[in-house]
A and B are shown apart, each in its own frame.
Chain A
Amino acid sequence: MTTATVSRWDRFRASFFWYSFKRDKLAIASFLVLLAMVLAAVLAPLLAPADPYDLAQIDILNSELPPAGFAGADPAFPLGTDAQGRDLLSTILYGTRVSLMIGFGAVVLQAALGILFGLLAGYLGGKVDAILMRIADVQLSFSTLMVAIIVGAVFKASFGNLMFGEIAIYMLIFIIGVAEWPQIARTVRASVLAEKKKEYVDAAKVMGFGTPRIMFRHILPNTLSPIFVIATVQIANAIISEAALSFLGLGMPETQPSLGSLIKSGFDYIQSGSWWITLIPGLVLVVLVLVINLLGDWLRDVMNPRLYKG
């Protein structure tokens, strides 16, 4: 008798996860929009009609042209141009790219920190737990955005404008990652505390496994599912945080702007009637964050332990 081998793809297709996804039209729509935006951002160099940071290609005479459909538009610039004559479609594509990179990067960092500290606090308990959670509480009560602003301010003051600008993207990932770890750490810690009481932990201890091994290879996998939900929402938060920091001037510089910095530089021209320079990047930012939030909501409903059966 032969047994058919079930591939991973087949198992995925049969799972509750996929079934629930197919049924939820909003989730599908959100995912498609997100996919489109991510692809557009990743392929920005190929898709953008012009390289907005190539000074040779910009002509100041093209400045402040409105998007297609409005009086005075130029078909070469479908979304209009900014005050320097840069094509807005291109700047937005590159800007989305930067925003997404920082968003993902920051979440990876905060997840790594959060998981590490959550495991340590939950498993080791005692003084380690008390200190870590006290720091987390203070960070959370100040609000992570405030912490990010403060850390950003300090870094900008110590590194100086120029250097900060050059490594801004890494700075921002670091700043937001460090500001936001408490959320994940708390969740992991709660899971660890629950798991610690279970029998497989005792069994592992009896078998003589060391603490790090028990923490990472035994307990950690069981604490991961709520993290996925939080991580998704945190990507949206990170993008907004970065946009806020950039808007305040503590983020990406004009030479390598994110959506936030685009909104900032466009704001100066709103009074003169060139609303598109600030509002179109704004719209893109909102749509991006919205679809990530919607997917996060859907993911939370799916991962609800009462319904989800592996």
Chain B
Amino acid sequence: MLAFLVQRISQALLVMFVISVIAFAIQDGLGDPLQEMVGMSVSMEERQVIREELGLNDPFLVQYLRFAGRALQGDLGNSYFYSKPALQVIGEHLPATLELVIGASLIIVFLSVPIGVYAAIRPGAWLSRFFMGVSTVGISIPVFLTAIVLIQLFSIGVTINWFPPETGWGQWLNESLSTHGGMPSYGRGDDLVHLFGTWESGFFTRQGLAHLVLPCVSLASIMLPLFIRLIRAEMMEVLQSDYIRYARAKGLNPGRINFLHALKNTMLPVITVGGVQIGIMVAYTILTETVFQWPGVGLMFLEAITRSDIPLIVAYLMVVGLIFVITNTLVDLIYGLVNPTVKLTGKKT
């Protein structure tokens, strides 16, 4: 167990190191601290002097170590645009993104497991086929498009007038196929509850929750088909195995067989894949936040790119890198705890 932990953590540190080097390289190559500090009237010679004083002409390695040292103390420079420490800007925007991710994850977990299991147990049922069909289409729709369609349907509303209103049933069909919209599609609303630090939560008020709905559904929509397919495929394979047939031969009831014997084995590879999806999730939050103007780190990152706010870009990369590394290590850990064949040796038997 200890060896397992040590191995994973040292891997994590290595990856963090690589990310920091890349981040620093970007900052070194693109950023110009002088731009922030001095105006246009400063001459070239004076600029050179200032550069010397700031140590900007030192070798790469020296500058990197300085950068790394500061980073470990939490100093990632000041954002050009906000004129505040970059880390603080990120701290202000991070809770919004976290709530988005939490909401989407809840939707994914509570929908994909029942649907995936059902589709595996009854693959021929029309409901299963329907879900699988929708999943295939779902994978082909980019997340930002789903978001736009949801906005059109539930925020703006769609009025159908295909059927002539004179006929009684025509009017009814018009009504039932139309949507009235009204769901908020911009930002998080004003009704947020302060939790701690910079965390303003939208989960505790009606307006906050209303604002969370469309963005979370959009974010979930792209990962849901993936998990449904994955769970279904894994479960179907597990159901073919000898130990399931043996469980039946022991006379166990089907509920126990499906939800203990089969599901536990199914979830193992799903945990692994789920861990990998976190990376994709972060990319998708950038897209979703852009569509809904959701004030999270994704939108912040995009605006930083447009404004060439290099310190903020670099800080974002470092923080996101750290989040990845932590999450991946946690996922590995959870997998090691859940899968008994991994416990003792620290390697897969």
Binding site for B on A (CB under 8 A): 138, 140-143, 145-146, 149-150, 153-154, 156-158, 236, 240, 243-244, 247-250, 263, 267, 270-271, 273, 275, 278-279, 282, 285-286, 289-290, 293-294, 297
Contacts and interface: CB of A to CB of B under 8 A. Distances in A.
Interface string B152-176: 1000100000000000000000000
A263 B151 contact: no
A249 B280 contact: no
A279 B328 contact: no
B281 to A, nearest CB: 8
B78 to A, nearest CB: 17
Given A154-B30, A158-B30, A285-B142, A149 B148 contact: no
A142 B136 contact: no
B282 A286 contact: no
A247 to B, nearest CB: 5
Q: Which of B142, B286, B313 has the most CB of A within 10 A?
A: B142
A169 B300 CA distance: 26
Contacts of A249: 302, 305-306
A297 B137 CA distance: 12
A297 B151 CA distance: 31
Interface string B272-297: 00001101101110110011000000
Interface in B16-33: 18, 26, 29-30
B290 A142 contact: no
A143 B148 CA distance: 23
A270 B148 CA distance: 9
B140 A236 contact: yes
Given A145-B283, A157-B305, A244-B142, 14 more contacts: A138-B18, A143-B282, A145-B280, A153-B301, A158-B29, A247-B287, A263-B148, A270-B152, A273-B156, A285-B145, A289-B141, A290-B136, A293-B136, A297-B136
Interface in B102-122: none
Contacts of B276: 140-141, 143
A150 B313 CA distance: 9
A293 B140 CA distance: 7
Contacts of B335: none
A247 B290 contact: yes
Contacts of A248: 286-287, 290, 302
Contact of A290 (B140, B305, B306): B140
11 contacts: A140-B279, A143-B277, A153-B301, A236-B140, A247-B287, A247-B290, A249-B302, A263-B145, A275-B156, A285-B142, A293-B140
A265 to B, nearest CB: 12
Contact of B283 (A146, A285, A289): A146
A126 to B, nearest CB: 19
A143 B276 CA distance: 8
Contact of A157 (B145, B302, B313): B313
B236 interface: no
B64 to A, nearest CB: 17
A154 B316 CA distance: 13
A149 B290 CA distance: 13
B244 interface: no
Contacts of B142: 240, 243-244, 247, 285, 289
Which 9 A-B pairs have CB atoms at the shortest separation, nearest pair first? A143-B279, A145-B283, A290-B140, A143-B280, A146-B283, A289-B140, A153-B305, A282-B145, A240-B142
B324 A141 contact: yes
B317 interface: yes
B29 to A, nearest CB: 7
The majority secondary structure among interface residues of chain B is helix
Contacts of B324: 141-142
Nearest to B277: A143
**Do most interface residues of chain A lie in helix, strand or loop, or is the interface mixed?**
helix
Contacts of A240: 142
B116 to A, nearest CB: 18
B88 to A, nearest CB: 21
Given A236-B140, A286-B145, A290-B137, A142 B279 contact: yes
B114 to A, nearest CB: 24
A16 B103 CA distance: 48
B235 interface: no
Contacts of B136: 290, 293-294, 297
Contacts of B140: 236, 286, 289-290, 293
B290 A270 contact: no
Contacts of A293: 136, 139-140
A154 B308 CA distance: 9
Nearest to B158: A275
A236 B137 CA distance: 12
Contact of A279 (B30, B148, B286, B305): B148
Contact of B286 (A149, A271, A275): A149
A273 B290 CA distance: 20
B212 interface: no
Contacts of B287: 244, 247-248
Contact of A250 (B139, B291, B305): B305
A150 B139 contact: no
Contacts of B145: 263, 282, 285-286
Among A278, A282, A285, max chain B CB count under 10 A is at A282
A143 B324 CA distance: 10
Contacts of B26: 154
B9 interface: no
Contact of A267 (B282, B284, B291, B313): B291
A215 B257 CA distance: 48
A158 B310 CA distance: 11
A51 to B, nearest CB: 27
Contacts of B30: 154, 157-158
A94 B61 CA distance: 48
B333 interface: no
